[in-house]
Structure 1
Amino acid sequence: MESYKRLSAYLRPYWWIIIIATLFSLVTSGLSGAIAWFVKPVLDGTLNKETGTIKIFLLVYISFLLLKSLSAFAGSYLMRAVGAKVVRDVREQLFNKLIYLPMNFFINKPSGDVISRVINDANVLQGVLGYVAKDILVEIPTFIALLAVAFIRGWDIALMACFVLPFSFYVIGRFGKKMKVIGRKTQEQISGLTVRLTESISGIKMIKAFVRQKLHLDKFDKENRKYYWIAMKGARTIEYSKLAQEIIGGIGLTLILFYGLNLIVSGRMSEGDLMSCFTALALMYTPVRRLGSANNSLQQARAAAERIFYMLDQEPEEDGTKELPVIRDNIEFSNFSFIYPGTDKKVIDNINLKVRKGELTAIVGKSGAGKTTLVDMIPRFYRPTEGKLLIDGTDINEATHKSLRINIGIVSQDVILFNESVRDNIALGKLDASDEEIADAAKAAYAHDFIKDMPKGYNTLIGERGVRLSGGQKQRISIARALLKNPPILILDEATSSLDTASELIVQKALDNLMTNRTTFVIAHRLSTIQKADRILVIDKGKIIETGTHEELLNKGGAYKVLYHSQFDRPR
């Protein structure tokens, strides 16, 4: 019930539309009752051969049917509009929640699962709020109106029908519980399919390179078949529910008709009363059946709603309250340690480090040593398990995200570009930048010339993740973005490691422009790119095991020297 209560909160802004839709639904229900009511005078007039009466009631019937159709259309359209508006609001709230969640959430949740919750689960809600809500608003009053007609025309016959109804409601409740479980499994399996599809599309280059189309097709088919069997189980449950209601309704109506015919034979009821009563009871079957289907859909939607509310209930990234000024003196790691949630191994282990303003600090070490995790702490993508990270003596946990991150620029090996124009991707560094500022940043990043040669220049769409660009071009646009942002603190994470020699030389020139007069942290596997660093940190298993300049570390003859000679003294 909690899920339904929370969903109802989304309906409140549209209460006036729901009221209008309800009024149309009441008109529809009243006309359904009127159609059953007027069966008696039409039949009596027919039996008495009253031609004029028959013609009048024929016109009345046609009018009722037209009005009923129009009111049903209006009520249904309005409720579907409400459903669409609510789902729009839910999706906006979901995305707003999503982009403010901590990084830990995205580590533990596949992107396909998140996408499925925002798209597929929300679609289920739209169906419920549009179709099911309409059925509930229309069918309950219709059921009541028809039952009233039945009692007025033949209370004893209507009473017999009331004894049959509990069996129908039992079927609705029994199968509804099953549909809740099936609904949850269905949404989870759709999520699994979305994950598989997302991974296959994002990794299509590797799939083709290793000729593993068949492998991934088999994996997708496996997930798809799981979904198929769950969907079939849901279909069987729904159809069993309908079958049970058909049998109950059919037996009930047959017994009622038999009883009514006996009343006519005994003279205790007229033919018109029986047909009017029987018509009302027969028409009552449709609301009962639709309410049963509505209950099944509600149970399925409940599972989708629970998955959506799970995301909405996640705690957002904790923000600070202090406005952090531009760095004046230093950045300090004090007894700093970090463990990823759900693990017990320290990725960063008791780091103590002070970096002066304007200093170029290089970080080297084996893969998995903790280099990237360490620099990810500076923009506070993660919070330390122990210790503090201070900027000019201020604990960054106390600073607001905006004041902290606006001072930091990041250029990484895995360049993130969006399916927008070149201009929009560079302007991410400064949204109100002029065309001249964007061009200047591109020139400093050695990107201006190749951008000019593109079909629409700076207005050219570059595709998802910059798929239409080379690795070097992507990196230079990323550098232009950082230059435009003009941050005092810069993080370069393997910015040239995936480039060929020619591209690396150009990108390195752009990086030299970017690093000028900034406090810079550089992670590099290619030690030739960091020899001019003010200080080099050698990290192993989350600890700083050596520190010094390039020459100092070579003279020490330790881990750095081993790394250096492993790259430069290879036999040719």
Structure 2
Amino acid sequence: MSKHKKPQGGHPGHGPGGGMMVMGQKPKNFKGTLGRLLTYLKPRRNQLIAVFIAAILSTVFTIVGPKIMGDAITLLFEGAYAKFQGVSGAAIDFPEIGRILLFLAGLYVFSSLFTYVQQYIMSSVAQKTVYDLREDVNEKLERLPLKYFDGRTNGEILSRVTNDIDTIGSTLQQSLTQFITSIVTIVGIIIMMLTISPLLTLITVITLPISLFVIGPILKRSQKHFSDQQRTLGELNGHIEEMYTGHQVVKAFGYEKKAGAKFDAVNEELYEAGSKAQFVSGIIMPLMFFIGNLSYVVISVVGGILVTQRAITIGDIQAFITYSKQFTQPLTQTANIANIVQATVAAAERVFELLDEEEEVKEVTTATLTNAKGEVDFEHVDFGYGDDLLITDMNLHVSPGQTVAIVGPTGAGKTTMINLLMRFYEVNNGKIKIDGIDTREISRSELRKSFGMVLQDTWLFNGTIKENLAYGKEGATDEEIFEAARIAHADHFIRTLPDGYDTVLNEEASNISQGQKQLLTIARAVLANPPMMILDEATSSVDTRTEIFIQQAMNRLLEGRTSFVIAHRLSTIRDADLILVMNQGKVIEQGSHEELLEKKGFYADLYNSQFSEQQVAG
């Protein structure tokens, strides 16, 4: 039902502003992560082969172009030179040049067509691959234990699910096709250059190892900065998300300056990481251009000498110069893609870190829980969030239909007990049984369907009031929804809203009061009609008159059901069948209200102190 409370006792890793303190990054496994990312492309190997073939055809048609253009230039030059020399009957063969140019235009049309096919297929491959990755991440999040979410900010998790996966998708869709085209272009250009002049080809190819030697160390340095950039981006997203969703608390406690200061600090760290990453990687392009231009100068000089010696034609040298310029372009693109791959691998590592997180204890379902009676037993239960145990040797028997109130000071373990009952956390030792069945033998989903929850922290989603109430029961009819709202005393206020049950709640449900939100969560629990109920001070956010109505509705709801009520105001649980008094993770007293008062122990002191406070307030 409603969103569970975070466990008491706290977790390391959270600062006063709620933002996660990111620990030092482990060394990154570039090859391992890249290899793992490529496994997501294996199911689409046939489509990738088609992309590769389309890239070859598109590139071949483009590469042949300069050579054919060189033939046209040679015809033009030879004809013009012969006329200049006064050769009898000399003329420029314009019809042949026209046929060459027409053929060249056709090649470029076919090249464009295959480029479109390549991009179209690759777009499908990229989107389907990212779809699979999102599916894996979503399924993983469903299998992660509650402690994973308690130890991280929402924004940091969302950054991995959205920003990092989007980075991977963009790279697959854009950069992978460029990489394939660049490789094919490099190979094709080398072949064409060899057909023109092996000597000039050797001069051009020498630039390749020089380029790799120069940019290799730069790529290694940029990887660390890109990793820092992705990490700080996740931290910044987490901080913004927390400050936005908790803006009322921020303003109430005057935390604006501190929140702004933390934002500035993280933003500055992101700026530094991003600047260093872009600066280091940005050096690659100028270096590639410098090396390419040196090669271009040498080729022009040597080519000119060869033309004067009639070793090659003027058209061939023009074509070769074009090839030499094109040769550096795919190299530059490849170097640029290498930068993008650095950022992509850094993003993929963060996603894979999530996928590698320890999951909930694997279920071994050997029993089913249908029509639960509600008999609950805690047998020698030990539990702790870390090395220190919060609950030790807890023993408890709850008969079907009993209302059990759990009281105690903050941090006593009240909410922890509920978390264990719902299997949000697994016990360290001992057993929790329902109707004599160990809860570890029941599937988590089946176990949780047997409980209804109304917590102090309300959870409502963006949608109509009717949709929020229907969340409690699949296929609920309108009449069932209206009846549940009447029982929870929510029907009257709902009908006074402009659109009644069709009123749309915004993302934070801030367009209705806190008390009204609580009424809706209670109505949702009524509609679910589970065999067992968990209430965490469900009436704490409503006025006294409404509280009386809700208490009456709750009494009707709890009839014949086993219920666990976490109580802060002890006056609300005097009629409970069993009251458990907890302190420091142990049940130190248990009994009815009258029995516990007669003992004059911890509960009596707690009750009398609250009664005295109410008298003073009155």
Shorter-chain TM-score category? over 0.9
Are residue 392 (structure 1) and residue 422 (structure 2) matched? no
What's 1:325 paired with? 370
| Structure 2 residue corresponding to 1:44, chosen from 74, 77, 85 | 74
- The aligned amino acid for 2:64 is A
Q: Secondary structure at the match of 1:38?
A: helix
Q: Deviations over 1:269-315 (max 9, x none)?
A: 32222222222121111111111111111121111111111212234
Q: Deviations over 1:142-198 (max 9, x none)?
A: 111111110000011101212221112234433322232222111101101111111
- Map 1:22-421; keep pairs closer than 5 Å: 22-49=52-79, 50=92, 51-317=94-360, 318-321=362-365, 322-328=367-373, 330-340=375-385, 343-421=386-464
Identical pairs, percent? 35
* Post-superposition offset of 1:125: 0.2
What's 1:492 paired with? 535
Q: Distance in 2 between matches of 1:561 and 1:189?
A: 51
Q: Distance in 1 between matches of 2:78 and 2:303?
A: 21
Structure with more relative contact order (C-alpha pairs < 8 Å, separation 6 or more): 2
Whether the 8 Å contact between 1:417 and 1:465 is mirrored in structure 2 is yes
Q: Distance in 2 between matches of 1:202 and 1:72?
A: 46
Give the length in aligned residue pairs: 570
| RMSD of equivalent CA atoms | 1.8
Whether the 8 Å contact between 2:69 and 2:101 is mirrored in structure 1 is no
Which deviates the most, 357-366 or 75-84? 75-84
Whether the 8 Å contact between 2:153 and 2:242 is mirrored in structure 1 is no
Q: Deviations over 1:111-158 (max 9, x none)?
A: 111100000000110111011111122111111111111000001110
Q: Deviations over 1:63-103 (max 9, x none)?
A: 33333334323322432332223223322321222122111
Are residue 560 (structure 1) and residue 590 (structure 2) matched? no
- Map 1:398-547; keep pairs closer than 5 Å: 398-547=441-590
* TM-score w.r.t. length of structure 1: 0.95
Q: Distance in 2 between matches of 1:419 and 1:217?
A: 28
* Post-superposition offset of 1:267: 3.1
Q: Distance in 2 between matches of 1:13 and 1:437?
A: 47
Q: Secondary structure at the match of 2:363?
A: coil
* Post-superposition offset of 1:16: 4.3
Whether the 8 Å contact between 1:491 and 1:521 is mirrored in structure 2 is yes
What's 1:548 paired with? 591
Give unmatched runs, 5+ long, in structure 1.
Answer: none
Q: Distance in 2 between matches of 1:116 and 1:157?
A: 50
* Post-superposition offset of 1:512: 2.0
* Post-superposition offset of 1:484: 1.6
Whether the 8 Å contact between 1:451 and 1:457 is mirrored in structure 2 is yes
Q: Secondary structure at the match of 1:430?
A: coil
- The aligned amino acid for 1:60 is F
- The aligned amino acid for 1:55 is G
Which deviates the most, 68-77 or 135-144? 68-77
- The aligned amino acid for 1:284 is F
Q: Distance in 2 between matches of 1:431 and 1:150?
A: 70
Whether the 8 Å contact between 2:374 and 2:531 is mirrored in structure 1 is no
Which deviates the most, 315-324 or 394-403? 315-324
* Post-superposition offset of 1:550: 0.8
Whether the 8 Å contact between 2:374 and 2:561 is mirrored in structure 1 is no
Cα–Cα, structure 1 residues 455 and 83, in superposed 2: closer, same or farther, change >3 Å? farther
Q: Secondary structure at the match of 2:377?
A: strand
- The aligned amino acid for 2:415 is T
* Post-superposition offset of 1:517: 1.3
* TM-score w.r.t. length of structure 2: 0.89
* Post-superposition offset of 1:373: 0.4
Q: Secondary structure at the match of 2:380?
A: strand
Whether the 8 Å contact between 1:429 and 1:482 is mirrored in structure 2 is yes
- The aligned amino acid for 2:557 is L
* Post-superposition offset of 1:226: 1.6
Q: Deviations over 1:50-75 (max 9, x none)?
A: 23333233333333333333432332
Which deviates the most, 1-10 or 557-566? 1-10
* Post-superposition offset of 1:254: 1.1
* Post-superposition offset of 1:106: 0.9
Whether the 8 Å contact between 1:36 and 1:146 is mirrored in structure 2 is no
Whether the 8 Å contact between 1:182 and 1:300 is mirrored in structure 2 is no
Q: Deviations over 1:447-492 (max 9, x none)?
A: 1222222233223221224222212211121111111211111111
Q: Deviations over 1:239-268 (max 9, x none)?
A: 201111111111112112211112222332
- The aligned amino acid for 1:397 is R
| Structure 1 residue corresponding to 2:48, chosen from 4, 14, 18 | 18
* Post-superposition offset of 1:329: 6.3
Q: Distance in 1 between matches of 2:389 and 2:545?
A: 39
* Post-superposition offset of 1:104: 1.4
Q: Distance in 1 between matches of 2:297 and 2:363?
A: 68
